[in-house]
Structure 1
Amino acid sequence: MRGLFKIATAASALLATALAAPITKVRPGNGTDIIISSQNTVNATEPAPANATRPAPANATVASSTFKIAEDLAVSNGRLPLALVNNFAGAINAYVTGLDSNNQLVMLQPDGTWLYPVCDPTIGTPQPINANVAIPLGGQGSTTQVTLPAYISAARVWFAAGDLEFFTVYSTASNGPSLVEPSAVNPSDPSAAVSWGFVELTNTKDGGLYANISYVDFVGLVLGMSLLSGDGSVQSAHGLQATAVASICSLLKAQTARDGMPWTDLCQVDASGTPLRIIAPSDHVASNPDAFSDYFTDHTNEVWTYYSTNTLTIDTQAAAGKVACTVQGDQLTCAGDNRGYARPLAGDIFGCNSGPFAIEEGDNDVHRAIVPRLCAAFDRTTLLMTGGDSQPGLPSTSYYQSAPTNWYSAFIHQTEVDGKGYAFSYDDVNPDGDVNQSGVVADGDPQVLTVIVGGPLSG
């Protein structure tokens, strides 16, 4: 939704004050500094096979200035050509991680074969993967052609301005290794001083290709992508502007100067002060429970007061249709919902998966539809606007227009080239017919997935 709203520029004196605010400086450690969580692990459900690799397809990795679809790269048996375009002023390494069609952990080697990482079950600490899994891209302006040799799921295609470190830990569930990936939220991660990012993808026989750009957890090395389908159509998600990390950090620092909230702490910089990445406020709150603790308190109280005498209508955009909600006692209750909603805290609003927004086993379809729409309304601060009593109902031009709001999400959308790319978990919630903000490309007959590193190409 870039261009659909504007955020006032801070005065020069205010900006100078903001730039002096504290930031998070990374201090990369080693394997003992790794923090293992669901965000940075891939868990296989089957152990690695005895045979560690599979045959490479012909011409698995080729550097060239242009990319053409060749007959020998036709997608078959899950083989998927990737065109990796380097628009970054520096050296870039690519990595591919995921699960093969047998749910075994794999990483792509430069020769185009799968590596099946292993680990010693007698060692309880993360073990480094020392095999060569870095695929160097050509220089700025070049395209490197890579083919995934088979179907893959829960996958990431990583890009780094340097070397990333991956580890394994033994999983009793699979009797084999789990992959421990670089963590954006841990400033002491072994890869913390490297600028990196990834696109997520799954390519299966039954479901086809689904690839996604997401900023739900962090903003890092700028990426964009496009997908050529079998019918000749092209889908794209251009991602962020080339200077997005530095730009968003500056905006967050200025916002800290305005409201005193720890937006600046979301920015991670290297030893020289160069911005590396920006973590989402939900992840910051998870590590710092007192951060933003009172940020939404007055607003949620006003919402509860207003809807104790007014009706909030939530369009489930599903079979339940439009549902009426009112505050009764201290709970927002909705017709047909199996349970109500307490006042959310800042961490609940930023993450959309805790407190009143945690979806539990047994919740009915009405509840599952209301949670994303209600949390999106809080993140975008639209519940008390004129017309905000119908959710989702207001156009995207109305999002983030008053404080308190999710400035992390607001500044991401301001900096996106085409407005695509999730900035919080339910960023795809919009009125029917409004803009599509998801950074997704998907097709049942994918031909080539192109990923551009370092910002969109000119022209």
Structure 2
Amino acid sequence: MSKNLATQASKDGQPWDKLTVKNNKGQLVRVLSPNTYRGFDNKNGNAFNGYWEPYVNQVYSKYSNGNNLLLYTSAGTSSCSVTNNQLNCYGDNQGYPKPSSADIFSCNTGPFGNITQYNNQHQQNVPILCSAFVRSMLLVSGSQPAGPVSQYYQNTPTNWYSYYAHNASFSGVGYAFQFEEPTPAGAQEQWGTIHAQNAALVDFIVGGFGWGGYAPGQYA
């Protein structure tokens, strides 16, 4: 993953390579999300500034010219369109001004923040909207959540950390950003939930598969 991020950094000039954390032996110990990196020790707050803004402008332009964005939620279908640079959705009591790069990487600031203050439709819309931005799907489909999963992260700009995190994870699933949950009908869940009706044993691996202290069932 670290090599892939370094290659991406050389392509677009963004600090993807800085997300990797190594020990004093030069061994990789962690890969930070862009959101975590931006807030890390309060030193990198300007990282990725301006990254998503051209894409956001394209999205808002698309949905301001008679093209509606449909959000399929458990609260019902919400049809959205842009007026005066704000996305407004049917049944949602709060509009969405253009998000910044920081808003998209965090999914909990700007138009995606303080969602519990607003109505149920808004609370259902926010995860779908932000996940569609992170996966770069809003110019691909006017109905969200959209799929198949193979289309995620295929358009630039995108969240390359999430893309490579999923590539490196077991079965391609895992929680790479807030609001991974939105999934189109019939598509593989991306957020890595585990369901078991009558579980008898759960093994947790801490430190990765190379750590020698793990014995299956030892702490059950």
TM-score bracket for the superposition, by shorter chain length? 0.7 to 0.9
TM, length-normalised to structure 1: 0.43
Which stretches in structure 1 are left out of the alignment for 5+ residues? 1-247
Whole-Å separation in 2 of the counterparts to 1:356 and 1:407: 22
What is the aligned partner in structure 2 of residue 311 from structure 1?
68
Q: Identify the structure with bigger relative contact order (alpha carbons < 8 Å, sequence gap 6+).
A: 1
Alignment match of 2:138 (pick from 374, 379, 383): 383
Larger radius of gyration: 1
Structure 2 counterpart SS, 1:405: coil
Q: Aligned residue for 2:174?
A: 421
CA distance in 2: counterparts of 1:294 and 1:362, whole angstroms = 28
3-state DSSP class of the match of 1:451? coil
Once the two structures are TM-superposed, the CA of residue 442 in structure 1 deviates from its matched residue by 4.2
Aligned partners of 2:104 and 2:133 also within 8 Å? yes
1:332–1:340: 8 Å Cα contact kept in structure 2? yes
Amino acid at match of 1:357: F
Query: For residues 331 and 367 of structure 1, what CA distance do their matches in structure 2 show?
Result: 14
Matched, 1:293 2:61: no
Residues of 1 paired with 2:116 and 2:104: CA distance?
20
1:435 aligned to which of 178, 188, 199 = 188
**Could you say which residue in structure 2 is the equivalent of 1:337?**
92
Higher share of residues assigned strand: 1
Residue 438 of structure 1 deviates from its aligned partner by 2.2
* Cα distance in 2, alignment partners of residues 362 and 428 from structure 1: 21
Q: 2:25 aligns with which of 272, 275, 278?
A: 272
Amino acid at match of 2:99: P
Q: Show the counterpart of 1:302.
A: 58
Q: How many matched pairs?
A: 205
Q: Look up the match of 2:107.
A: 352
- Richer in helix (by share): 2
Q: Is the 8 A contact 2:115 2:122 kept in 1?
A: no
Matching residue of 2:157: 404
Separation (CA, whole Å) in 2 of partners of 1:342 and 1:289 = 21
Distance in 2 (CA, whole Å) between partners of 1:383 and 1:369 is 17
Q: 1:88-127, aligned counterparts within 5 Å?
A: none
How far off is 1:446 after superposition? 3.3
Which residue identity does 2:70 align to in structure 1? T
The alpha carbon displacement at 1:390 in A equals: 0.4
- Once the two structures are TM-superposed, the CA of residue 342 in structure 1 deviates from its matched residue by 1.1
Partner of 1:219: none
SS in 2 for 1:439: coil
Q: Contact 2:175–2:192 at 8 Å: present in 1 too?
A: yes
TM-fit CA distance, 1:440:
2.4
Alignment of 1:328 onto 2:83: yes
TM-score by length of 2: 0.88
CA RMSD, Structure 1 to Structure 2 (Å): 1.6
Q: CA deviation at 1:283?
A: 1.1
1:441 is displaced (CA, Å) by 2.3
Unpaired segments ≥5 residues, structure 2: 211-220
